Chains A and B, each alone.
Chain A
């Protein structure tokens, strides 16, 4: 039974390629958040939370310990409430796949201050590195473009990442929401620093830092 499943998966999903991807998640997120200024960050559950917190346990991060599939929608509500701030959602491919409808909701609202970044290792990293649909032919940036994002791109190399960074980080003058899928190496990182788990603490400190 197990062998049969493996064979079937291998017909459509590639379990090997992401192991060799050039970009590394911790370095990518560190660059996304370097000199972040007054950027507001929502981190999707799992490794993106650890990645963001490894840079800094910043009060203007909202790390999601649950609510899988909600990161992009949460970023939309925040972006509409704070139209003069850059809002950056950093999430994983599994989390994004659970809330794909939010891409179309964002496309309908066209917030020009919202950036969605998917750190795509083609894996459910917290549960044993099972393959996600992005290990096949699924093209998330194409879906975002079709949903109405003004900008959407897949990033595979350091050069592509460096070229995209200004648009991801700034984006104030962008024509609408932006979406970037960054293909990162499938690897297990130590979790490292965890943010507070208490949701009320996370909410209160975010609002205090933003609203005073």
Chain B
């Protein structure tokens, strides 16, 4: 299934993610924005139990959410695939201390990409995350989003572990800037 190709999204996959974050009482939502996360960010912002924390760079979010866990709160980190490259050294904090880290990555440069500058990190993202000891789950079917994110969240928070969900361009729609 390819969502958004006709401007209509048949599956509320953003809602499925949001429900999982509610289920786990996620309190801190850290992000560097991506178009694919924009609806989720709006939903979280309307939730009085979630605090949005816009970051200047994605690695801040890893340290931030480690601090949140030390203080007894769960969090989630939202970014696009290019941001994964900014995180590598800071991921050692999650790995060495076994902090839970639930990361939702919207993919660029993975499928149907028009911008070649997005391709290097898009192609490297699953490899780099796996090398950094993260569990990696890919979603290319919007209907599978709910169960995938719920499973990743369980492994992140109950492991504890690093768990990344890669949200494919087949889900969010390959960006074309109208061309």
Q: Please say whether chains A and B are actual partners in one complex.
A: yes
Binding site for B on A (CB under 8 A): 40, 42, 62, 64-71, 73-82, 99, 101-102, 104-105, 108-109, 199-200, 202-203, 206-207, 210-211
- CB of A210 within 8 A of CB of B72, answer yes
Interface centre among A64, A74, A79 (most CB of B within 10 A): A74
A62: nearest chain-B partner, CB-CB: B70
Give chain B nearest CB distance to A22 CB in angstroms: 32
Nearest B-chain residue to A200, judged by Cβ: B98
Cβ-defined contact, B70 with A109, below 8 A: no
Closest to A64 in B: B93
**B54: CB under 8 A from chain A?**
yes
**Docked-complex contact A207 and B98, CB < 8 angstroms:** no
Q: Which residues of the other chain, A, contact B27 by a CB distance below 8 angstroms?
A: 81
**Do A207 and B53 touch across chains, with their CB atoms under 8 A apart?**
no
Give every chain B residue within 8 A of A207 (Cβ-Cβ). Answer: 69-70, 72
Q: Are the CB atoms of A82 and B72 closer together than 8 Å?
A: yes
B67 at the interface (CB under 8 A from A): yes
Task: Pick the contact of A75: B67, B90, B98 (CB < 8 A).
Answer: B67
In the complex, what residue of chain B is closest to A201 when comparing beta carbons? B97
4 pairs of A and B residues whose beta carbons are closest in the complex: A81-B71, A77-B67, A101-B56, A70-B63
Is B67 within 8 A of A78, CB to CB?
yes
Tell me, in angstroms, the Cα distance from A65 to B72 when the chains sit together.
22
> Do the beta carbons of A81 and B73 come within 8 Å of each other?
yes
Closest residue of chain A to B27 (Cβ to Cβ) is A81
Least Cβ distance of B64 to chain A in Å? 4
Complex Cα–Cα for A64 and B99 (A) = 13
Q: In the assembly, what is the distance between CA of A109 and CA of B99, in Å?
A: 23
**Residue contact A74 to B98, C-beta cutoff 8 Å:** no
* Separation of A199 and B69 alpha carbons in the complex (Å): 13
Q: A73-B67, A80-B68 are in contact. Are A104 and B56 (CB under 8 A)?
A: yes
CB distance from B63 to the nearest CB of A (A): 3
Q: Say whether B64 contacts A77, CB under 8 Å.
A: yes
Which residue of A65, A104, A105 has the most chain B CB atoms within 10 A of its CB atom? A105
Instruction: Please tell me which one of the listed residues B64, B69, B71, B73 contacts residue A73 in the complex, with CB atoms under 8 A apart.
Output: B64
Whether A203 lies near B73 (C-beta < 8 A) is no
Which residues of the partner chain A approach B92 to less than 8 Å between Cβ atoms?
A: 66-67
